[in-house]
Amino acid sequence: MPAAVDPDTATLTSLLTALPSSAHGVESVDRLMVWLPDHTGEYVVVLGPNLPIEEAVTLCERLRVSRPTISVVLVRHTLETHDLTAAMKAGARDVVTYDDHTALTGAVRRAHELYVALRGPTGALHTGKIVTVFSPKGGVGKTTMAVNLALALTDRGARRVCLVDLDLAFGDVAITLQLFPTHSIEQAVGSEDTLDEQMLTGLLTRHHDSLMVLAAPSHPDVHERITSALVQRVLRTLQESFDYVVVDTAPAFDEQTLAALDETDECVIVATLDVPTLKNVKVALETLEMLNVAQGHRHLLLNRADDAVGIGPDKVETILGMKVVTQIATAMDIAASTNAGNPIVSGSPGHPSSVALRRLATLLAGEPAAPDQPVLDASPGSEKPDKAERSSRRFKIRR
Ligand SMILES: Nc1ncnc2c1ncn2[C@@H]1O[C@H](COP(=O)(O)OP(=O)(O)OP(=O)(O)O)[C@@H](O)[C@H]1O
Ligand SMILES: [Mg+2]
C-alpha cells in the first residue's frame, strides 16, 4: 500500500485522496522509517510538497539502495529545475505538482506496475491479523482494553490498525476516542456480496494517522440488520489493508460476535475478580474451545486485578485452567483518561497499565515474550486452522 509523507495534516489528507484507499499517511520521514521495515510489500512512497527538498533527496538516495523496489514520487508546489535535477539524480521515479492529482494517481499506478514486474503479482498481497477482545460479562473493561490495545498496536505509526466496534447496539468506541463518525457499519448493510476496500474505507473514521475506526450504528435497532455474512466480509476486507484489525464486542455470543470469533487470529478474553464473571468466563472458554476459536491463541487479561475481594490471580488461573497473560490494576487514571477521550496508552505511556498493554500488543504481534512474562494460553493444538478450514465452520450457538 502506498505511503505518503507530509508534515502538514491538511496537505497529507489531500494527497491521500489521490492515492489508493489503503494508503498510509505519516507526518515525518522518521515515522516512515519506522513503518517501512514492517511493510516488505511497500511499492511507493509519496513525498509531499512541505517536506524540505534536502530531506526528500536524502530519503530518495537511501531508499534507492536499501529498498530498490520502492518508487519515490516527489510532489512539489511548483516544478523548479534544480529540484527536478536533484530528485532525479537521487533516484526519484516521478515528480508531479501538488495541484495535479491525476498525475499523482498515474505515477502511483506506474510504481505499482513496476513493483509487480519486479516482484511478481503476489508480491503486494497482504493479510493482517484479527484480534478480538471478548468477555461474556458487561462492564469488565472490554472497550477500554480494545481501544488501548489498538493504540498500542499502532506502535506510534509503524503499523496500520483498524478498530471495529462490534458492540452493535450500544457501542462506545467512538465516544471513548472522542470521535464523531459521519458513517458507521450501518451504511454497509446489504453489501454482503459487494463490499470492497474502497467502499469500506469511506465508512471509517480517522483517529490518528494509523488508527482508523469502524463505528457502531448510532441506533440500537440497526443491530439486527447486520448479518454474520456482512461481519465476515467487513473483517476480511479490512484485513487486506490493515496490519491489525481489533474488534470490540458485545458481552454475548450473538451472531455477529460469533462471526468475528470465527475470523479471529488472536482472542483476548477479559475477566475480573468476581465469581459471576469467572463462572461466565469459564463457560465462554469452554464454548471457544468447542468452537475451535483461536486455538492456542487465546489470551486471558485480568482487569481490576488488584481488587481485594478474596480471589487472587492464582485462584483465577486455577478456576479457568489458563494462565493470566496480562494484569491491569484498578486505576482512576484509566477511567479518567477514558472520560477525557485520551486513552491511557496515549495519554500516559509510562503508566503501568500502558506498559502492560504494550507488552500484550507485542505478544499479539508475534514478537517473543520477555522471559519474566506470564506464558500464553497453552491449550493443546496450538496450530491455528487455516482460513478456508475456519470459514467452513458454522456456528450453531444461539443466545
Ligand atoms: N482497570 C480499570 N480501572 C479503572 N476503571 C476502569 C478499568 N477498566 C475499565 N474501567 C472503567 O470501567 C468502565 C467500564 O469499562 P468498559 O466500558 O471498557 O467495559 P465494557 O466491558 O466494554 O462494558 P460493556 O459490556 O458495557 O461494553 C469504564 O468507565 C472504564 O473507564
Ligand atoms: Mg464495551
pLDDT tens profile 225-242: 999 999 999 999 999 889
Q: Which of 106, 124, 142 is the last residue of a domain?
A: 124
* 44 closest CA partner among 98, 118, 107, 123: 107
Number of domains making up the chain = 2
Residue 1 has pLDDT above 80, yes or no: no
Cβ(138) to ligand 1 under 6 A? Answer: yes
| C-alpha 250 – ligand 2 centre gap (Å) | 6
254 with 116, same domain? no
Q: How far is the CA of 228 from the centre of ligand 1 (A)?
A: 26
Which residue's entry shows cell 496490519? 243
The label of the residue with cell 482512576 reads 332
pLDDT tens for 170-221 read: 999 999 999 999 999 999 999 998 898 889 999 999 997 679 999 999 999 9
Q: Whose CA is nearest to atom 9 of ligand 1?
A: 141
Cα of 147 to ligand 2 centre, how many Å?
10
Least confident of 77-86, 121-130, 275-284: 121-130
Distance 270 CA to ligand 2 centre (A): 11
Residue 102 has pLDDT above 50, yes or no: yes
End of a domain among 77, 95, 124? 124
Question: Does one domain contain both 20 and 142?
Answer: no
Please state, for a pLDDT cut of 90, what percent of the chain lies above it.
69
**Residue 233 maps to a domain:** yes
Three-state secondary-structure class, residue 393: coil
**DSSP secondary structure, 123-173, as one string:** GG---PEEEEEE-SSTTSSHHHHHHHHHHHHHTTTTS-EEEEEE-TTT--H
- Ligand 2 ion: Cβ-proximal residues, 5 Å cutoff: 142-143
pLDDT tier at 122, thresholds 50, 70, 90? low
d(CA 243, CA 117) in angstroms, rounded, equals 24
Residue that terminates a domain, selected from 108, 124, 140 = 124
Structure confidence at residue 118 as a pLDDT band (50, 70, 90): confident
pLDDT for res 343: 94
Closest-CA residue to 248 (of 107, 319, 315, 343): 343
In single-letter form, the type of residue at position 67 comes to R
Residues 172 and 321 grouped into a single domain: yes
Instruction: Name the least confident of 120-129, 168-177, 196-205, 244-253.
Output: 120-129
For residues 264-271, average pLDDT = 96
Mean pLDDT of 96-118: 90
pLDDT at 367: 55
CB of 338 sitting under 6 A from ligand 1: yes
Residues 114 and 28 in one domain: yes
Q: Let me know if residue 399 belongs to a domain.
A: no
Indicate if 94 and 149 belong to the same structural domain: no
Instruction: Write the residue with the smallest CA distance to atom 31 of ligand 1.
Output: 335
Domain extent for 320: 129-392
d(CA 342, CA 333): 11
Strands 205-208 and 211-214: antiparallel
Confidence of residue 150 (pLDDT cuts 50, 70, 90): very high
Q: Tell me the C-alpha distance between 187 and 111, whole Å.
A: 33
Whole-angstrom distance, CA of residue 272 vs CA of residue 347: 24
Would 397 be classed as within a structural domain? Answer: no
Residue 211: inside a domain, yes or no? yes
Q: pLDDT of 290-321, one tens digit each?
A: 999 998 899 999 999 987 777 888 999 999 99
pLDDT at 312: 86
Averaged pLDDT, 354-369 = 85
Give residue 230 CA to ligand 1 midpoint distance, Å: 28
Tell me if 304 CB under 6 Å of ligand 1.
yes
- Full 3-state SS string of 368-381: CCCCCCCCCCCCCC
